[in-house]
């Protein structure tokens, strides 16, 4: 069983992916973490995430231990991740890891931007998770405050919209809904309700 979950930042993909993996006994990969780790490696070395050669080198020599770094979830790293993710050679370097992860028994839930369209186009179940920009910004803002980071709602909203535009507008593997994906709008749903809808979609496909 392989479940591919895509959608914009803050829509609830990560929460759903973890809950689904738990419920179905599958492994979980947050593919955004790979782009974040690449960005963090560049930033820590004092490099420029917008320089394609620097970003590619980081992706090729990625230290997987960075996936557990507490710095991975900061807004700075999220924005830099979106920048390195637009570099085709970075995406290529991270592709094999994602496919190998999905192919390892007993199967997996992968969440990101291009899992259903590029990484695993043959995944039997694809979900596309969306929510209004206002609600996604509100969730991210609360998350940052809960972690003790300084956060201004309006700024989070502007950043989330800029990130959407960059992720959906890039030439290679842009964020988009796969033709055969089931869309779930989480704006007015609780995490449990989202999980129920996803399980229903999975039942309908199997």
Q: How far is the CB of 193 from ligand DC (least distance, A)?
A: 21
Would residue 99 be called left, alpha or beta, if left means φ above 0 and alpha means ψ between -120 and 50 degrees? alpha
Identify which of residues 63 and 200 has a Cβ nearer to ligand DC in the complex.
Answer: 63
Q: How far is the CB of 78 from ligand DC (least distance, A)?
A: 5
Q: Say which residues have a Cβ less than 8 Å from residue 137's Cβ, sequence separation at least 6.
A: 10, 153, 156, 157, 160
Q: How far is the CB of 113 from ligand DC (least distance, A)?
A: 4
Are the C-beta atoms of 86 and 166 separated by less than 8 Å?
A: yes
Identify which of residues 21 and 81 has a Cβ nearer to ligand DC in the complex.
Answer: 81
Helices (H), the chain: 13-24, 31-44, 52-60, 75-84, 88-103, 133-146, 153-169, 191-205
Identify which of residues 56 and 167 has a Cβ nearer to ligand DC in the complex.
Answer: 167
Give the tokens for residue 77: 């790293």
Binding site for ligand DC (CB under 6 A): 9, 31-32, 35-36, 78, 81-82, 85, 112-115, 163, 167
Q: How far is the CB of 203 from ligand DC (least distance, A)?
A: 25
Identify which of residues 57 and 114 has a Cβ nearer to ligand DC in the complex.
Answer: 114
């Amino acid at each position: 069983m392989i479940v591919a979950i895509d959608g914009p930042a803050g829509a609830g993909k990560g929460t759903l992916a973890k809950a689904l993996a738990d419920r179905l006994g599958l492994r979980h990969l947050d593919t955004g973490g790979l782009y974040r780790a690449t960005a963090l490696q560049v930033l820590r070395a004092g490099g420029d995430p917008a320089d394609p050669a620097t970003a590619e080198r980081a992706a090729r020599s990625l230290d997987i231990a960075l996936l557990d770094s507490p710095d991975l979830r900061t807004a700075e790293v999220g924005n830099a991740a979106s920048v390195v993710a637009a570099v085709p050679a970075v995406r290529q370097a991270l592709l094999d890891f994602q496919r190998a992860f999905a192919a390892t028994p007993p199967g997996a839930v992968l969440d990101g931007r291009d899992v259903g369209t590029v990484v695993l186009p043959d995944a039997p179940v694809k979900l596309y998770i969306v929510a209004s920009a206002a609600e996604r910004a509100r969730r991210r803002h609360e998350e940052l405050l809960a972690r003790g980071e300084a956060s201004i709602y309006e700024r989070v909203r502007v950043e989330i919209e800029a990130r959407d535009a960059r992720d959906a507008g890039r030439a290679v593997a842009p964020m988009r809904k796969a033709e055969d994906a089931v869309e779930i709008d989480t704006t007015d749903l609780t995490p449990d309700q989202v999980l129920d809808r996803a399980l229903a979609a999975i039942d309908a496909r199997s």
